[in-house]
Structures are given as C-alpha cells and as structure tokens.
Amino acid sequence: MDEEATLVIIKPDGLKKSLTGNILSRLAEAKLKIIASKIVKVTVELANEHYNHLKEEPFYPELAKYITGVLHGENRVMALVYYGENAISKVRKIAGATNPEQADPVSIRGAYGRILTTGLFENVIHASSSSDESEREIKLWFGPDEITVVIYETEEVILENVKKEFWK
Ligand code: DAT
Ligand code: MG
C-alpha cells in the first residue's frame, strides 16, 4: 500500500475540554507523520462545504452549529494532516465509530464523545473515511503552502488586485 494522507479535525468540544494533548497522544500510536496543522475559526461556508454530503440530514442544522462552535461557545478547531501507510484506516480505527456510544470505549470517540439530547453525536474528532474524501477535504482546509509534503499536483497562478493582510 502506498502512503496516503488523511484529514483530522479536533472539534470545538475537544478544544473546550482541553483534550488536544490526549487526542494527539492517542493518534501518535498510529506512527504516522503530521505534515500540516493549524487552529482554524470555522465559518458557516467552510462547514457547509466540509459536510456537503450531509446537508439533507435531519441532524445537519445541529451539526453545523457544532462544527462552527455555536454549541460550545468555542469557534476554534485544530486541523491536521497525517501521512503514511494506510493513514486513513489507521486514524479511523483510533478515532472509533461515528456513534460514540457504539464506539470502542478505548477509542477517542468512545472515551470522550457523547450523544447530545438533540440526538447529535458529539464525537470530538473528524477523520477522513476514503482517499477521495481525504483529498477533497485536505484541499478544502489547507493550501499547498501549508503542507510540508507535496501530496497533490499544484499550479502557479499570478494574482492581480488581491487584497491580503500582512504584518505591519
Ligand atoms: P464520520 O464523522 O464518522 O465520518 P459522518 O461523516 O457520517 O460520520 O457524519 C459526520 C458527523 O455528523 C459525525 O461525526 C457526527 C454527525 N452524525 C452523523 N450521523 C449522525 C446521526 N445519525 N445522528 C446524529 N449525528 C450524526
Ligand atoms: Mg465522514
């Protein structure tokens, strides 16, 4: 199997509960490489794009409130790209099942997740579930200049009249 990349997002509850250290320690068991990471404020646009396949689900409005931080009063998430052999399935295994009550109790979701009274699975982390999904998601969350390994093809574009912020 070739090396592959996968996107992990530690959701707002993970940051609010100071679980980032514990979660990164658990993920380290996969012996993969972290090739990108950052803290992100999730906009409604990013949430809609990330979860575009779930827009019709009855739980989607709550899910959007969750990932954008409205539920926790905490709009930061930590996004990371892990890279290595079977990275997608290794990370999914350590993350555990989508439903935290059905997840292996020693998985991240089993240990730290819960089901809210609204029925939403508050499952602490996101992990890509296929190589098509990981490519789409990594390209959505990261630019090529933020990733330390060239994993997808890039192109150079010359921009004119682009407004961008710099340090003064
Ligand atoms: P996963 O995150 O395991 O890939 P998914 O992509 O199907 O699962 O769903 C995205 C998120 O939406 C999931 O992490 C939690 C929430 N969710 C999914 N199915 C749900 C359900 N039946 N009830 C409540 N929340 C759900
Ligand atoms: Mg998914």
Every domain of the chain and the residues it spans: 3-146
Mean pLDDT of the chain: 97
Quick one: pLDDT at residue 138?
Answer: 98
Is the pTM of the predicted complex or chain greater than 0.85? yes
Pocket test for ligand 1, best of 67, 88, 93, 121 (most atoms within 8 A of CB): 121
Pocket test for ligand 1, best of 49, 51, 55, 63 (most atoms within 8 A of CB): 63
Question: How far apart (Å, rounded) are the C-alpha atoms in residues 104 and 37?
Answer: 26
Pull the structure tokens for residue 75: 């709009």
CA proximity to 83, closest of 142, 7, 1, 19: 7
pLDDT digits (tens, 9 = 90+) for 133-149: 999 999 999 999 999 99
Positive or negative, the CA dihedral 29, 35, 40, 42 is negative
CA proximity to 50, closest of 71, 77, 83: 77
pLDDT band at 22 (very low <50, low <70, confident <90, very high): very high
Question: How far apart (Å, rounded) are the C-alpha atoms in residues 30 and 86?
Answer: 10
> Ligand 1 center to residue 59 CA distance, Å?
9
| Architecture of the domain defined by 3-146 | 2-Layer Sandwich (3.30)
> Ligand 1 center to residue 12 CA distance, Å?
15
Q: What percent of the chain has pLDDT over 70?
A: 99
The predicted model gives 71-91 an average pLDDT of: 97
Closest atom of ligand 1 to 123 CA is 14
> Which H or E element spans position 111?
helix 108-112
Quick one: pLDDT at residue 1?
Answer: 65
